[in-house]
């Protein structure tokens, strides 16, 4: 039997296609279908078509709006901290040259630590009174008493506190990827700019950042997506509390579905969440990436 | 570039501070796990154990559910690895070798799956697994985990296979090897290193996964992260045991990461950045 190249390629793609169709595309179809029905998790066969009601209800719900805003804030907090710290570390490694190798090895260490371990560990360190973080702060004279800051109990603070394990785990990722990018910038370009009289800051702004743009795009988008989708790290620390103050969208959707059994409404919110993710990351991709290519 | 002594001193001081902040949390976790259980909540907390005790570890013997959860996690991660690698090898080969619209479309589709919040797929997956009778089974959870790892594995493997010289297969084809023969006899053995790295990634993705396991398993095949998260006694969270379980649970992850440091970045960016 002779296979043509075309049918051979299709045959190779077939198993993975079938799998993704059955376990990714089909669930997404079910999700979108369910978003137009009133379905209870306890009696999934009794479904009532309600049109766009679930969507209207979700968009009008202040709790959904608040958790959408929280998702955005959480992502921005985590992403800003990771990017600033990670970029600083990458520049430091780059300045150190070969001597940074051991450092980078140590730095790579938290890369793969399970998210729930990171969440639990930070929860443990942030307990009021007995947590080590407050004790260190008290020792340094920053706070008067170890019960002064209630990291996970204060509604105004909790969104920052739940971002800490995320920042701890992934700053190294950002740093190492940006470092790889910096290493790939031809040193002649930097030298040439310096000979032309550019200062360190100018070299950074005019040469380093533009050339690093594609790598920055990859890092920001990947990290942004992962932070926005976060579930386990926050769930393990607060389950969305206190009084919903750390309830981001994925936790809200989970709770709406499992705790309250509103499959229809949870599906509508999940669909909106997904559309927003695709839109925001496409915009981010085209602005960061697109600018770079039009300049060069 | 020569730097002055003062510059170097500042550089190293900076590095030392960063490292302390960075490594400290995990060090504190390990240190707490070898303190006597009551010392976990001592006031003030101590950095290093005042007394060494392995009670936090031996006590795990009293919790068969927790012990079994480590076995469940291992079985599920292995199953998910076999499924994902088995599906991804042919697809990645097609994409890396034959520039067709189907391959390109596939690569983009695989990327888009990364944008999907797991909770969105999780809800309907629960219904699908229920109708297949796969709720609370190793296979059900492994299939769910594979929805995350198949796209990842395809991207990674495609980038590994692209670096294999075409001349190798062409020579085999001239010698009368079939198309499938070339894949099995030439590509897979040559790409074995890349396949191993991808397999480790897929294994760890399943080992670390939380939400799908939470949705799809109950008492039967509860995975380690769920058992750890639920590990509370009637007196609330037992922090001592929590730290020893966390150390045990993250142990394989750390070993694997140290083994393949150089490739980690490639894996975490789906091959977009080569470390």
Do the Cβ atoms of A253 and B118 come within 8 Å? no
Is B182 a residue whose pLDDT tops 70?
yes
What is the CATH class of A37-295? mainly alpha
The answer to whether residues B156 and B266 touch, using CB atoms and an 8 Å cutoff, is yes
Judged by a CB distance cut-off of 8 A, whether residue A23 touches chain B is yes
pLDDT average, residue stretch B43-58? 86
Query: Residue B239: is its pLDDT beyond 60?
Result: yes
Tell me the count of A-B CB pairs closer than 8 A. Answer: 243
CB contact under 8 A, B109 and A20: yes
According to the per-residue pLDDT averaged within each range, which of A204-213, B10-19, B35-44, B241-250 is highest?
A: B241-250
Q: How many CA atoms lie within 13 A of A31 on its CB side?
A: 29
- Which chain B residue has the Cα nearest residue A16? B87
User: What's the pLDDT band for A295 if we cut at 50, 70, 90?
Assistant: very low
- Residue B242 and residue A120: Cβ atoms within 8 Å? yes
Same domain, B93 and B223: yes
For residue range A145-181, list pLDDT tens digits in order. 878 888 888 888 999 999 999 999 888 889 888 998 8
Of the residues B11, B45, B238, B267, the best mutation for testing chain A's interface (the one with the most A CB atoms within 10 Å of its CB) is B45
Boundaries of every domain in chain A: 37-295
Is B100 within the bounds of a domain? yes
Of all residues in chain B, the one with the smallest CA distance to A18 is B87
Q: Are residues B173 and B208 in the same domain?
A: yes
Compute the distance between CA of residue B224 and CA of residue B209 in angstroms, rounded to an integer.
Answer: 10
Q: For position B71, which CATH number holds?
A: 1.10.3720.10
What is residue A185's predicted lDDT score, i.e. its pLDDT?
84
Poorest-pLDDT segment among A37-51, A58-72, B80-94: A37-51
Q: What is the largest CA-CA distance in chain B?
A: 75
pLDDT (mean) for B56-82: 92
Partners of B144 on chain A (C-beta within 8 Å) are: 23
The residue whose two tokens read 């729930």 is A116
B199 and B106 in a single domain? The answer is yes
A27: chain B residues, CB-CB within 8 Å: 121, 123-125, 128
Q: How far is CA A210 from CA A196, A204, A206, in A?
A: 18, 9, 6
Task: Answer yes or no: do B48 and B73 share one domain.
Answer: no
Q: Does the residue B238 lie in any domain?
A: no
Domain total in chain B:
2
The dihedral through the CA atoms of B49, B54, B57, B61 has a sign that is negative
As a whole number of angstroms, the distance between CA B226 and CA B205 comes to 15
Residue B150 lies in a domain: yes
**pTM for this entry:** 0.89
If residue B229 lies in a helix (H) or strand (E), which one and from where to where? helix B224-229
Say if A49 is an interface residue toward chain B (CB within 8 Å).
no
**B207 to chain A: closest CA residue:** A114
Interface of A with B in 54-73 (CB under 8 A): none
B153 touches chain A (CB under 8 A): no
B133 lies in the same domain as B52: no
Inter-chain touch A218–B269, beta carbons under 8 Å: yes
Which of these ranges, B39-48, B146-155, B245-254, has the smallest mean pLDDT?
A: B39-48
Give chain A positions within 8 Å (CB) of B87: 15-16, 19
Contact indicator for A124, B228 with CB cutoff of 8 Å: no
**Pair (B109, B142) in one structural domain:** yes
The 10 Å CB-count burial string (b at 16+, else e) for B155-174 is: bbbbbbbeebeeeebeebee
Residues of chain A contacting residue B127, judged by C-beta atoms under 8 Å apart:
30, 44
Q: Are residues B45 and B72 in the same domain?
A: no
Q: Do B128 and A97 touch (CB under 8 A)?
A: no
Query: Strand B236-237 and strand A48-49: pairing?
Result: unpaired
Which structural domain range is residue B46 located in? 5-56
Residues of B with CB below 8 A from A94's CB?
none
Please tell me the predicted confidence (pLDDT) of residue B275.
44
Please check whether residue A233 is in contact with residue A164, taking contact to mean a CB–CB distance below 8 angstroms: no
Q: Kindly state whether residues B52 and B130 are assigned to the same domain.
A: no
* Judgement on whether residues B50 and B123 belong to the same structural domain of the protein: no
Task: Out of A108, A125, A236, name the one closest to residue B257 (CB).
Answer: A108
Q: Do B151 and A20 touch (CB under 8 A)?
A: yes
The mean predicted confidence, pLDDT, of chain A is 87
For residue B23, the 8-state DSSP code is H
Q: Which residue of B has its CA nearest to A30?
A: B124
Q: Do B117 and A15 touch (CB under 8 A)?
A: no
Instruction: Please state the three-class secondary structure of A196-222 as a single string.
Output: CCCCHHHHHHHHHHHHHHHHHHHHHHH
Mutate to test the interface with B, among A2, A39, A45, A124 (most CBs of B within 10 A): A124
pLDDT at position B158 is 87
The whole-number pLDDT of residue A160 equals 94
| B154/B205 same-domain check | yes
Same-domain pairing of B52 and B74: no
- Looking at the fold, whether B111 and B226 belong to one and the same domain comes out as yes
Residue identified by tokens 């950002």 is A174
């Amino acid at each position: 039997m002779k296979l043509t190249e075309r049918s051979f390629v299709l045959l190779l793609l077939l198993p993975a296609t079938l799998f993704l169709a059955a376990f990714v595309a089909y669930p997404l179809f079910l999700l979108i279908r369910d978003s137009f029905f009133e379905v209870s998790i306890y009696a999934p066969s009794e479904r009532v078509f309600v049109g766009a009601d679930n969507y209207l209800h979700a968009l009008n719900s202040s709790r959904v709006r608040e958790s959408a805003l929280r998702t955005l804030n959480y992502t921005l907090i985590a992403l800003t901290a990771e990017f600033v710290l990670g970029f600083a570390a990458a520049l430091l490694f780059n300045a150190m040259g070969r001597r940074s190798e051991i450092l980078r090895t140590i730095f790579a260490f938290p890369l793969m630590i399970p998210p729930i371990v990171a969440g639990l560990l930070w929860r443990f360190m942030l307990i009021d009174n007995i947590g080590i973080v407050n004790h260190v702060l008290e020792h340094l004279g920053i706070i008067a008493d170890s019960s002064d800051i209630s990291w996970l109990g204060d509604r105004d603070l909790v969104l920052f506190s739940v971002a800490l394990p995320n920042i701890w785990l992934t700053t190294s990722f950002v740093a190492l990827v940006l470092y790889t990018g910096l290493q790939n910038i031809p040193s002649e370009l930097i030298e040439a700019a310096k000979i032309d009289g550019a200062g360190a800051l100018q070299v950074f702004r005019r040469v380093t950042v533009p050339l690093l743009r594609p790598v920055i795009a990859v890092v920001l988008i990947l990290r942004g997506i992962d932070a926005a989708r976060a579930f386990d790290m926050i769930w393990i620390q607060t389950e969305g509390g206190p009084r919903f103050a750390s309830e981001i969208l994925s936790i809200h959707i989970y709770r709406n579905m499992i705790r309250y059994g509103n499959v229809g409404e949870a599906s509508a919110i999940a669909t909106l969440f997904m559309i927003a993710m695709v839109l925001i990351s496409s915009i981010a991709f085209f602005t960061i990436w697109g600018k770079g290519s039009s300049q060069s | 570039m020569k730097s002055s002594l003062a510059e170097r001193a500042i550089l190293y001081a900076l590095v030392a501070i960063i490292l302390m902040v960075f490594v400290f949390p995990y060090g504190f976790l390990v240190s707490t796990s070898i303190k006597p259980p009551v010392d976990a909540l001592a006031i003030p907390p101590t950095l290093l154990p005042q007394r060494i005790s392995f009670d936090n570890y031996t006590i795990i013997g009293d919790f068969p559910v927790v012990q079994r959860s480590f076995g469940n996690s291992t079985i599920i991660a292995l199953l998910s690895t076999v499924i994902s690698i088995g599906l991804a090898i042919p697809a990645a080969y097609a994409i890396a070798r034959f520039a067709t619209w189907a391959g390109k479309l596939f690569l983009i589709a695989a990327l888009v799956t990364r944008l999907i919040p797991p909770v969105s797929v999780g809800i309907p997956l629960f219904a699908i697994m229920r109708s297949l009778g796969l709720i609370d089974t190793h296979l059900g959870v492994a299939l769910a985990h594979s929805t995350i790892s198949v796209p990842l594995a395809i991207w990674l493997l495609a980038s590994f296979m692209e670096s294999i010289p075409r001349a190798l297969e062409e020579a085999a084809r001239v010698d009368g090897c079939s198309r499938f023969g070339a894949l099995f006899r030439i590509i897979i053995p040559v790409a074995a290193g890349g396949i191993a790295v991808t397999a480790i990634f897929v294994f760890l993705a399943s080992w670390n996964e939380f939400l799908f396991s939470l949705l799809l398993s109950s008492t039967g095949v509860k995975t380690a992260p769920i058992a750890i998260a639920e590990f509370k006694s009637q007196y609330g969270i037992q922090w001592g045991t929590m730290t020893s379980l966390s150390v045990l649970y993250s142990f394989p992850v750390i070993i694997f990461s140290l083994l393949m440091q150089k490739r980690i970045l490639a894996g975490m960016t789906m091959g977009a950045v080569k470390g």
